[in-house]
Amino acid sequence: MVIDITTAETQHMAASAKNSPIGLFDSGVGGLSVLRVLEQRLPAENYIYFGDTARVPYGDRSPQEVRDFTVEIGSWLQDQGCKMILIACNTATLLGMEALAAAAKVPVYGMVEAALAGAMAGGQNAAGLWPLGLIATRGTVESGGYQAAVAAKAPGQPFYAQSCPDFVPLIEKGILTGPEVEQAVEKYLKPLKEKGVATLILGCTHYPFLAPAIAAYLGENVRLVDPARQLAIMVEDYLKDRGLLNDGATTGFREFYCSGGSEAFKAQGSNLLGRPLKEIRKQVF
C-alpha cells in the first residue's frame, strides 16, 4: 500500500516531530549522566527522563525481568509522544534493547554501540586502546554482550570485564567521594590496573559520576570512555539526517519521572546535575 501525503503535510509532520521530546530511561539516577551530555550537545531538544528507582538496581535482576521492564518503560515513553527512545542503561540495553526495538514504532538507541565507537575512536592516543577494560553491572558482564561485541570488532585483542556491584547503591545514595568510594574503587579496579588497561569503558551510566575517583586511582595514563559522548553524536546525526533536530533558539523542556520516592530523586538528581530539579512526577508500572 502506498500512503500518499503532500509535501506540505510532510513538512508539518516534520515540524511537529522536531518539537517532540527525546525519551530516556535508566534504573535510577544513572541515566542523568547521559542527559547531562545530551543537554550540552543538544540543548534545544525537549527531554523526558524516567528513573525506575523503585526497582533499582537492574544489575542484579534476572535477564527476563530487565527485558520486561525495558519494554514496559520504552512503550510508555513512546506513548508520551517521544520521537526516539534512548536506553540510558547498559544493563537494559544488553538485556532488553532487542525486544524493545521489535515492539517500538520509534527508533531505539542503546549504550553498547556508542561505547565501542567511543572507545575505538580514541584509540590512537599515546596510551593506545589495548588492553581494553570494561566496568559494568553484574548483569551486563554476565550477559557476555560486550565481550562478543569487542571480539567481533577486534578478534584476539586483550579485553577485561569487571563487575562492580557496590557502585550503584553508593551513587543512588549520593555518595561519590570518601573512604567507602575509595575502598570500592580499589577493590574493583585493582585487577584491571594490574592488567595494565590503557582504556576503560564506563559501562554503566551511573559510573561517570565516580569518574573523578576512578581517574584518581588509575592515573592519568588510562583513558576513561563515557559512552554518552558518542551516543549524543549518534542522536544528533540521526535527527539531522531526517530533519527532526529541534534547532530552536530556546532551551527545551525537561520532564522527570521516577517510580520510587520523588523527594529522594529530586535531591539526588539536583546534586548530580548541579541544578535544582523542580518537579518530579511519579510513574509506577
Distance separating alpha carbons of residues 26 and 23, to the nearest angstrom: 11
Using CA atoms, how far residue 281 sits from 33, 61, 260, in Å, is: 19, 25, 10
Phi/psi for 59 (5° steps) reads: -60, -20
The distance of closest approach from Cβ of residue 31 to ligand DGL in the complex, given in angstroms and rounded to an integer, is 7
Least separation, in Å, of the C-beta of 98 and ligand DGL? 16
Q: Which of 82, 89, 164, 258 is catalytic?
A: 89
Answer whether 58's CB lies under 8 Å from 137's CB. Answer: yes
Select from 122, 205, 197, 126 the least CA-distant residue to 171: 205
Q: Which is nearer to ligand DGL, 200 or 244 (CB)?
A: 200
**Whose CA is closest to 109, among 87, 91, 92?**
87
Contact positions vs ligand DGL (CB under 6 A): 26-28, 30, 56-59, 89-91, 137, 140, 168, 204-206
C-alpha to C-alpha distance for 27 and 268, rounded to whole angstroms: 14
163: helix, strand or coil: strand
CB 94 within 8 A of CB 182: no
Q: Collapsing DSSP states into helix, strand and coil, what is residue 283?
A: coil
In terms of CB distance, is 61 or 223 closer to ligand DGL? 61
C-alpha cell at 77: 515513553
Q: 61 or 83, CB closer to ligand DGL?
A: 61
Report in angstroms how near the CB of residue 96 gets to ligand DGL at its nearest.
11
Shorter beta-carbon distance to ligand DGL: residue 205 or 246: 205
Q: Write down the catalytic residue from 82, 164, 204, 258.
A: 204
89 is catalytic: yes
The answer to whether 82 is a known catalytic residue is no
In angstroms, give the least distance from the CB of 139 to ligand DGL.
7
In the complex with ligand DGL, which residue's Cβ is closer, 140 or 268? 140
CA-CA distance, 177 to 158, in Å (whole number)?
31
CA-CA distances (angstroms) from residue 228 to 34, 119, 122, 140? 5, 11, 14, 17
CB-based closest residue to ligand DGL: 59
Shortest distance in whole angstroms from residue 90 CB to ligand DGL: 4
Write down the residue that cell numbers 551486563 correspond to. 140
Residue with Cβ nearer ligand DGL (18 or 57): 57
Please confirm whether the linkage preceding 227 is cis (ω < 30° from 0).
no
Contact 58, 120 (CB under 8 A): no
Instruction: Kindly state the smallest distance separating residue 89's Cβ from ligand DGL, in Å.
Output: 4
| Catalytic annotation, residues | 89, 204
